[in-house]
Amino acid sequence: MKKKVSLKDIAQEAGVSTALVSYVLTNKEEKARVGQEMAKKIRKIARKLNYQPNHIARSLKSGRSDTIGLIVADISNPFFANIARTIEDEAKRNNYTVIFGSSDENVDKSRDLINVLLNRQVDGLILIPTEGSEQQIKTLQNQNVPFVLIDRYFPDIPASHISINNYESAYNAVSHLIKMGRQQIGMIAYKTALHHISERKRGYMEALTDQKKSLMKLARYSHLKEDIKLAIDQLLNARKPADALFFATNSLAIEGLKYINELGIRVPEDLAVVSFDESEAFDLFYSPVTYVRQPILEMGKEAVRVLLEQIKDADKPAELICIDTELVIRKSSGKK
């Protein structure tokens, strides 16, 4: 069996100490005042010898694994996939590896994933929490586990989180539809008590200055297709049919647009459409969709920054960060 390459092997070939090699291969050459040429030489030798670091030994020595756990709601959703990719890239830039999983909006699966990640000795967690997971968050606080919530948070739990102004973003989106001459504006949202969706509902409701009543319909995550079809049928067959729809998420919008297309309804001539979140599918629809763009890149970078600062300083106060969105206006919300 071929002997595994060690730091000593690299040090002997480079003619330096093993400590110096260790500094370079853990990206601490500046701290140890190692010259750029020497650092380049050591890395070249390590690649040539196919050196593979012993992460377990390193984590036992340092008390850190240089890994972050990430739990998203659904990695197949482009919004969550883009957040995961941003966090992965930003973590790598800081010499961290990300281990991630999907909760599928299931509180039991969320708890199991947290336990798996903690058993893998991750240094901290970035979480998109599920409905009903408040106790899981409180347990992490009691265990002094560094963590950051992203996209969603619980107002009653003082924990670091990265979010957007959901109320204002929804208010602006619906106000835009009103300016376009739409008078019967429906909204389709998930049936959930999660704060970010509640704030989007509130923004919709308060923007309806002249509309006599709310045309709010709710869909269950586990019965998405049938609930959206039922909601659209009810809104379009009402005594005063909806002339615009505001979808609370991109997944709701995509399913809704499929059914709208099946019905042969013209967008925006018969029905204007606006979505919260974006999707590549919106570009493929014959009437490009107006949407609320979330600052995914900034959100991901801030989440990693806040978490790494918590890992370094356990007593650091919670950071509550709210980032602005942008309403991207396209053909689907055109004038009546």
pLDDT digits (tens, 9 = 90+) for 224-237: 999 999 999 999 99
3-state helix, strand, coil in the chain (%, to 5): 45, 15, 40
Residue located via tokens 């909204």: 187
Where do the domains of the chain lie, and which CATH numbers do they carry?
7-53 (1.10.260.40), 65-164+296-323 (3.40.50.2300), 166-294+327-333 (3.40.50.2300)
Contact 244, 182 (CB under 8 A): yes
C-alpha distances out from residue 242 to 70, 197, 214, 231, 267, Å:
40, 21, 11, 11, 13
Lowest mean pLDDT among 135-139, 163-167, 314-318: 314-318
Could you please report the per-residue DSSP string of 117-140? HHHTT-SEEEE-PPTT-HHHHHHH
Mean pLDDT of all residues in 74-82: 89
Give the predicted TM-score (pTM) of the model: 0.80
Quick one: pLDDT at residue 320? 95
Residues 48-62, mean pLDDT to the nearest whole number: 63
**55 has pLDDT over 70:** no
Q: Please report, for the chain, how many H helices and E strands are present, in that order.
A: 13, 12
| Whole-number average pLDDT of the chain | 89
H or E, element range at 42: helix 36-48
10 or 259, higher pLDDT: 259
| Phi, psi of 267, deg, nearest 5 | -115, 125
Rounded distance between C-alpha atoms, residue 163 and residue 318, angstroms: 14
**Closest-CA residue to 113 (of 125, 121, 101):** 101
Q: 54 or 155, which is more confident?
A: 155
Q: What is the pLDDT of residue 27?
A: 74
Question: For residue 282, what pLDDT band results from cuts at 50, 70 and 90?
Answer: confident
272's enclosing H/E stretch is strand 272-276
pLDDT value of position 60: 46
152-162 pLDDT, tens digit per residue, is 999 999 999 99
Q: How many other C-beta atoms are found inside a 10 Å radius of the C-beta of residue 256?
A: 22
